[in-house]
Amino acid sequence: MSTLDDLTQVIDRIPLLGTVRADLAQLRRLVADRRAPRLLAIGAPGAGRTTLANELLAASALPASAERAALIAPEAQWLHVRAHGRSLDWLELDALPLTGARRERLERALAEAAPDVILLVARADALDALALARTLHEVRALLGERAVSTLALRTGGSAVDEGALEALRRSMAEQRVEVPRPSPLRRAGDRLDPAELRALADELYVRLPDVAHVEAARTLPVGRDKKREIARLLVQRASTIAVTVGLAPIPFSDALILVPLQSLMVTSVAYVAGQPWDARAAAEWLGSVGLLGGAAFGLRWGAQQLVKLVPGAGTLLSASVAGTGTLAIGRSAIAYFIDGPGLRRPAGLLPAPPPG
């Protein structure tokens, strides 16, 4: 991404800025290197894995497992699902011995990419602990030293076979894998319970690496606090970097970098919110800022350039103005897109659960 590359060149010319380089590296991971979350779901046929994927995407993106082999791809292959601007890499594996073509397909899939999280999906009234344990053990053997966290889910009713659950824990403990008590995923009408689905999405979010956080906040039905958290992190990193750009001593030179940085920040906040960044979104956001707000941003930038003409303290004042101006723009974007009227859902999505 050219904006981040230009920033890297500017920062490299200013000594003693190791912390800012770390901020820039994290911003690059979050924005330039972002990718979809990678989830591997292990379970018996009929356990609800495909339903879970569709509910996480809030879209009927995947057909039933029985139809998928003919329509999309056979089991044990990554599906790169893209639906209404949302992205999820999904891999399903039946809780059966890995032999023959199934094992070869899974080996190729794991060589292509390791999952971020493994989901053990089982019906509450049919928790086949031995089959799940054996399959998980084989998958982890293929993953080798690559560390992947595991979550257990139960679909259907509230009753759990405690004996089977304890057997699963013992079997996994022998492999030094901790399996938490299965989180419930019960139905509420024709949908999964929104509160339980959001709790799962929030748990997935905290287990994902930086490069998957932006797409996860946009794709998964996480609570609004998670969207706000990643948006604030983007704004904080951009504001810190803006201070560094403001330290450049030549008047007007940093506008070529500061303005694209602020634009990148605002579009990233809108993206996290699930908002397609288009002319309408830009116009509405600018309208929410208002004429006085826009003028204030312009005055900040003008003042920043003028104070650079003052020897010595001028550069420090310029850096301060650059940082506070970028922070103000970022906060206005969060207030509009995350918390305000800019939180729109693209057409075609299933009804959203209540905000968290």
The ranges of the chain annotated as CATH 3.40.50.300 are 38-207
Lowest mean pLDDT among 15-29, 65-79, 142-156, 215-229: 65-79
Give the CA distances from residue 206 to residues 26, 111, 230, in Å, rounded to whole numbers and listed in that order.
16, 24, 11
CA distance 158 to 273: 33
pLDDT, the chain, mean: 77
Q: Are 22 and 42 in contact (CB under 8 A)?
A: no
pLDDT of residue 222: 94
| Structure confidence at residue 241 as a pLDDT band (50, 70, 90) | confident
8 A C-beta contact, residue 39 and residue 50:
no
pTM, to two decimals: 0.80
> Measuring CA to CA, which residue among 24, 29, 30 is closest to residue 9?
24
d(CA 133, CA 131): 5
pLDDT tier at 6, thresholds 50, 70, 90: low
Whether the predicted pLDDT of 298 surpasses 50: no
Across-strand partners of 101?
Answer: none
Query: What are the tens digits of pLDDT across the range 102-129?
Result: 899 999 999 999 999 999 888 877 777 7
Task: Locate 196 and state its tokens.
Answer: 């339980």
Q: What pLDDT sits at residue 356? A: 45
Amino acid identity for residue 215 in this structure: E
Spatial distance between the Cα atoms of 195 and 185, rounded to a whole number of angstroms:
9
Contacts of 310-318 with CB under 8 Å at 24 or more apart are 315/246, 315/247, 315/249, 316/247, 318/246, 318/247
According to DSSP, the residues that pair with 93 across neighbouring strands are 42
Cα–Cα distances in angstroms (integers) from residue 245 to residues 2, 108, 249, 323, 325, in the given order: 15, 45, 9, 9, 12
**Band (171; pLDDT cuts 50, 70, 90):** confident
Residues 118-144 as b or e (16 or more Cβ within 10 Å = b): bbbbbbbeebbbebbbbbbebbbeeee
- Which of 93 and 323 is assigned the larger pLDDT? 93
The predicted structure's pLDDT at residue 18: 52
Angle between helices 255-272 and 279-307 (to 10 degrees): 150
* CATH architecture, domain defined by 38-207: 3-Layer(aba) Sandwich (3.40)
